[in-house]
Every structure is written in C-alpha cells, then in structure tokens.
Amino acid sequence: MGDLLVGKRILVTGVLTDASIAFHVARLAQEEGAEVVLTGFGRLSLVNRIAGRLPKPAPVIELDVTNTEHLDALAENVRQHVDGIDGVVHSIAFGPQDALGGNFLNTNYEDVSTAVQVSAYSLKALTMATLPLKPKDGSLSVVGLDFDAQVAWPGYDWMGVAKAALESTSRYLAKYLGDQNVRVNLVSAGPVKTMAARSIPGFDAFEGVWNEKAPLGWDLNDPEPAARGVVGLLSDWFPKTTGEIVHVDGGLHAMGA
C-alpha cells in the first residue's frame, strides 16, 4: 500500500475484465489510497462482478458516452457515492467491425463517425460532464488511454484515425481548461491482450513487432506498466503537465527500423 493518491476520488471508465488496463488503474489507485468509482456500459452485472475483484468495494454507475441523458446525470450520480472528483480515467473506445481489418478504403462514414464519437469526442464529453465535480479550489486530472497514432498500424484503420483525433482532442481540452486548473493527458500504451484488443483483426501481429523492437521489452499480458503511468498522472506529482502524451510502450515509439 502506498500514499500517492491518498484523499483522491477517482472516476474510472472502461473496466470490462480484470485483464483491462482500466481495472489495474482502479486497483492501483485503491492501493495508493484513492476512493474509486467505476462506470460501465451495457453488461453492468459483469462490471459489478469484476469490481468485486478490486481490493475494496467500488460502486458502478451506468454510462453510455453517446447518451446525452447519461452524461447530464453523471455528476449527480457520482455525488451519491463521493462529494467530488479529483481524477478521471478515460478508457473508452469502439470501432464497428467494418472500420477495422484492412477495410479502410471501403468503410462508410456512419461507421467512421461512430468510431470517432465513441473513441475521441467522448473525451470531451466525459471531461465536461465531470467538470462540476472538480473541487472548487483544487485541480482535476483527466487521463486517457491511447494507442500511438503517429503511424499506420496493420488492420487498425479508422480506429487509428480516431486515436489521432483523441490525441488532438486532449490538446485542445488542455488549452481551454487550463485556466480552471484541469490537466488533460494521455498514456500511449503498448498493446495488451484485453477483450477490446482481441476484437482487432490482426492484433497478434503486434506481438512480434513489440518483442523485436521495444528496447525495454514488452509483455502483452501485463497491463500494469500502463496502469502505473496513468496513476502517476492522476497524482500531484505532475502539477504542471498537460496536453502531454506519455508513452508506456517499452520505448518502441522512439525506435526507427
């Protein structure tokens, strides 16, 4: 047990399984002293069951980031469990199957729009929905999970475009919310074998790339390094860092051929 987040109240989205990075963020946050509230979409019974595997109980709030009513009610729903929020974790992404897997040139705009709304615009929507929960004289740290959008990945297609939009969205949020003492940063994580990752056609191809090129090595079955990066940004140790993308990928992003 540590004290990095003692007294902090953290809202964590995207906990689907105990293999997810978001789950390990929630676990580490609790171990570092934070009070954690989770959100879930769809199968809330599954999220509640996974929440039971955390070190301490954590309430689960239903949240569909494309549903205006859910977003409008989020602050009040959170207040039923905690009286404010010091940190928000955005771990939300989705792309229709036609937007992935090498179908880039044939994907229709409706599917592209869904990928961008759920995976990028939702960072703005979630941040604004939680802004009323920010302590009056304190700060709010918003941390999103990213996958490096500097290059084109096999089969990632329009999700890669959505991640590029996520990165830009985080910078504009940092610009417009800095005067309210809101920090917005991303952790660009190496690939982890999560439920979401397994739905990406060709995901297994990433394993060879990271094993060969990451100077620090990379374990696709270990979400903790990325989760630690998120927890660090949620803490008070980065008070003047915003609009940043922190790569937790074994160093692969910095390597050439």
Instruction: Give all strands of the β-sheet with 9-12 in edge-to-edge order.
Output: 60-62, 35-40, 9-12, 87-90, 140-146, 182-189, 245-248
- For the question of residue 124 being annotated catalytic, the response is no
Q: Which of 8, 124, 134, 163 is the catalytic position?
A: 163
Contacts of 137 (CB under 8 A, 6+ apart): none
Q: Minimal CA–CA distance to 170: which of 155, 151, 191, 149?
A: 149
Q: Cα dist. 133→31, 71, 112, 173, 178 in Å?
A: 23, 13, 32, 17, 16
CA atoms of 145 and 138, how far apart (whole Å):
23
Nearest to 151 by CA among 196, 89, 95, 213: 213
* Catalytic-role residue among 134, 136, 156, 193: 156
Query: Does the annotation mark 156 as catalytic?
Result: yes
Nearest to 13 by CA among 83, 110, 94, 76: 94
Amino acid identity of 244? E
Question: Can you tell me the distance from the alpha carbon of 48 to that of 29, in angstroms, rounded to the nearest whole number?
Answer: 18
Backbone angles phi, psi at 70, to 5 degrees: -60, -45
Tokens representing residue 62 in the block = 């239903």
Active site residues: 156, 163
